[in-house]
């Protein structure tokens, strides 16, 4: 009897053990890791981030969870005691576990292990890849002057690029420097995606030679970072403003009216605006062109002009060119135009007007032909040579008709 009872107890114990093992195996198989999120995607050295693991109970019965942990494996875990007591996850339900980590290590890829202890024995393990990569965003000068006229506004353009594998946010550029004033206290660029580039433009006024520092702040996740760029500022003269040059001036008289024509060229490095050409005392601007409005002139561009005036008794006329720069500042340049150029005789055209060319114009004295004075165009015709050719040709024709050429030919044959 005792023997049978012992056998029965052994059988019951084996059945309970098998059932418990089956329950343990079933609980582990029911739990599935459905998602892992690391924020930010790549941590810079010293950054703090989060690792979130999501699980799901795919079975038909609840599973009791004792605790959940994230084993560091190279990455520091800040809140390792947060999930010391969890509870039961029902069938079909999901549960998330978020751990705070800190990248107190060199760049590389690390694999902290998510571990979940099931109450009825058994566990779940899952390795989470965490990237540590400390490349900073790049800041470069796209355009900047070599020298800065004192207290004159200049433009500096910066390029900001993100060579990282993840986005950075809140990108802000702030200029600072002793003796430096900027029309922008800061430029906000926002987010920079991987391999994206954006430009930031600043209007700078410098009162002394100094160093201009640009501080670039940005966030990688919740972590703020800074990149700096220092640009030397040298005070010096620089010809960049518009510079008006007048040439090819021609002067024409018709009664008491003097007409000035020519070209005005912008030889500066910046555009000129509201360009006007007129005359000053002792000349008086008259119709039909008292003031010739050119308008805007880009760098290295030119325009023709025509101004009419009266200048009784004057030997020269001040030709005035007025223009504005991009800031609206007005400039004036004056060219003195002589009404009687030394070494150049006046030319009388067919309309009775007297013309004079200035700055190397093709004016000059008319030529003298066999039949008197020709205009400047006829002075270039070789009249004497043409007459000699005509006379010689006529003599040859006469000699040929009278047989003189044949006699000369027969004499040379003998």
Q: Which residues contact 65 (CB under 8 A, 6 or more apart)?
A: 86, 87, 88, 89, 95, 116, 117, 118, 119
* Within-domain flag for 272: yes
* pLDDT above 50 (res 192): yes
CATH number assigned to the domain comprising residue 211: 2.60.40.10
* Within-domain flag for 152: yes
Are residue 347 and residue 272 in the same domain, yes or no? yes
* Within-domain flag for 56: yes
**319, HSE (Cβ side, Cα atoms, 13 Å):** 28
Are residue 163 and residue 210 in the same domain, yes or no? yes
Are residue 87 and residue 109 in the same domain, yes or no? yes
Q: Which residues contact 51 (CB under 8 A, 6 or more apart)?
A: 36, 37, 38, 70, 98, 99, 101, 112, 114, 128, 130
**Residue 291 and residue 311: Cα distance in Å, rounded?**
15
* Within-domain flag for 368: no
Are residue 143 and residue 218 in the same domain, yes or no? yes
| Domain's final residue, options 132, 164, 182 | 132
Are residue 152 and residue 221 in the same domain, yes or no? yes
Are residue 345 and residue 270 in the same domain, yes or no? yes
- Number of H helices and E strands in the chain, helices first, is 3, 31
Are residue 99 and residue 34 in the same domain, yes or no? yes
* pLDDT above 90 (res 3): no
Q: Which of 108-122, 298-312, 362-376 has the lowest mean pLDDT?
A: 362-376
Q: Taking a C-beta distance cutoff of 8 angstroms, is the pair 48, 82 a contact?
A: no
* Within-domain flag for 323: yes
Are residue 252 and residue 344 in the same domain, yes or no? yes
Whose structure tokens read 């200029």? 175
**20, HSE (Cβ side, Cα atoms, 13 Å):** 10
| Domain's final residue, options 132, 166, 192 | 132
**Cα of 114 vs its chain's centroid, Å:** 48
What is the reported pLDDT for 380? 46
Q: Which of 385, 363, 361 is nearest to 376 (CA)?
A: 363
* Within-domain flag for 209: yes
What is the reported pLDDT for 22? 42
What are 246-299's pLDDT values in tens digits? 999 999 988 889 999 999 999 887 899 999 999 999 999 999 999 999 999 998
Are residue 117 and residue 209 in the same domain, yes or no? no
What is the reported pLDDT for 14? 47
* Within-domain flag for 414: no
β pairing state of 130-132 and 42-43: parallel
Are residue 48 and residue 109 in the same domain, yes or no? yes
Q: Taking a C-beta distance cutoff of 8 angstroms, is the pair 290, 305 a contact?
A: no
* Within-domain flag for 221: yes
More confident residue, 382 or 38: 38
Q: Which of 41-45, 131-135, 181-185 has the lowest mean pLDDT?
A: 181-185
What are 319-377's pLDDT values in tens digits? 999 999 887 888 899 999 988 753 233 333 333 333 333 343 333 333 333 333 333 34
**Residue 173 and residue 218: Cα distance in Å, rounded?**
9
Q: Which of 99, 102, 104, 61 is nearest to 82 (CA)?
A: 99
Number of domains in the chain: 3
Instruction: Give the CA-trace dihedral at 341, 345, 349, 351, to 10 degrees.
Output: 60
Are residue 144 and residue 118 in the same domain, yes or no? no
What is the reported pLDDT for 404? 65
Are residue 70 and residue 100 in the same domain, yes or no? yes
Whose structure tokens read 């008259």? 286
Q: What is the DSSP letter of 61?
A: S
Segments forming the whole domain that contains residue 176: 138-233
Average pLDDT over residues 75-94: 93
As a whole number, the mean pLDDT across the chain is 82
| Domain's final residue, options 177, 207, 233 | 233
């Amino acid at each position: 009897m005792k023997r049978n009872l012992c056998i029965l107890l052994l059988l019951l114990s084996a059945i309970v053990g098998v059932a418990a093992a089956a329950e343990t195996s079933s609980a582990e198989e029911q739990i599935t890791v459905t998602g892992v999120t690391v924020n930010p995607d790549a941590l810079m050295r010293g950054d703090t981030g989060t690792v979130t693991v999501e699980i799901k109970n795919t079975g038909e019965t609840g599973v009791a969870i004792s605790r959940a942990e994230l084993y560091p494996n190279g990455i520091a875990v800040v809140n390792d005691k947060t999930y010391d007591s969890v509870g039961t996850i029902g069938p079909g339900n999901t549960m998330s576990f978020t751990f705070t980590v800190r990248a107190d290590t060199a760049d590389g890829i690390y694999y902290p292990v998510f571990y979940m202890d099931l109450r009825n024995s058994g566990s779940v393990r899952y390795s989470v890849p965490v990237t540590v990569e400390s490349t900073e965003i790049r800041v470069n000068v796209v355009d900047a002057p070599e020298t800065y006229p004192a207290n004159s506004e200049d433009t500096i353009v910066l390029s900001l690029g993100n060579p990282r594998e993840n986005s950075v946010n809140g990108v802000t550029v702030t200029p600072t420097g002793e003796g430096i004033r900027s029309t922008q206290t800061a430029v906000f660029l926002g987010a920079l995606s991987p391999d994206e580039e954006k430009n930031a433009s600043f209007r700078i006024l410098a009162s002394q030679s100094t160093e201009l520092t640009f501080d670039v702040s940005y966030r990688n996740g919740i972590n703020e970072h800074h990149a700096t760029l220092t640009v030397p500022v040298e005070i010096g003269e620089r010809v960049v403003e518009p510079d008006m040059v007048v040439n090819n001036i021609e002067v024409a008289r018709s009664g008491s009216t003097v007409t000035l024509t020519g070209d005005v060229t912008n030889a500066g490095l910046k555009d000129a605006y509201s360009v006007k050409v007129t005359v000053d005392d002792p000349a008086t601007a008259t119709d039909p062109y008292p003031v010739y409005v050119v308008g805007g002139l880009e760098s290295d561009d030119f325009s023709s002009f025509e101004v009419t005036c009266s200048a009784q008794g004057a030997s020269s006329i001040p030709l005035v060119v007025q223009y504005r720069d991009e800031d609206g500042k007005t400039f004036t340049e004056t060219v003195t135009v002589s009404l009687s150029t030394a070494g150049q005789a006046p030319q009388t055209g067919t309309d009775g007007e007297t013309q004079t060319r200035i700055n190397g114009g093709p004016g000059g004295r008319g030529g003298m032909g066999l039949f008197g004075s020709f205009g400047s165009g006829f002075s270039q015709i070789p009249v004497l040579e043409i007459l000699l050719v005509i006379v010689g040709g006529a003599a040859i024709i006469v000699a040929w008709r009278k047989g003189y050429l044949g006699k000369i030919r027969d004499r040379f044959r003998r």
